[in-house]
Amino acid sequence: MSTLLTTLQTRLKQRAAYLRTKSELESMPLEVAIDLDIYKPDAAKLAEKAVYGR
């Protein structure tokens, strides 16, 4: 049971980090995104890679 709770906590923290990262990427000014070579519609993919490593 402890393992289940630990896994659930980890996944909830990862999900929160994913949503925060995605939101920040989507809300950054266009000039900053261009400077960082980030295509804003790819925010979900970039956030997933940053948080989950895939």
For residue 28, what pLDDT is reported? 97
Domain boundaries, the chain: 2-52
Max CA pair span of the chain: 48
Nearest-Å Rg of the Cα atoms of the chain is 14
> Average pLDDT for residues 38-53, to the nearest whole number?
96
pTM of the model: 0.88
Q: How confident is the model at residue 10 (pLDDT cuts 50, 70, 90)?
A: very high
Q: Give dist(CA 54, CA 39) in Å, integer.
A: 18
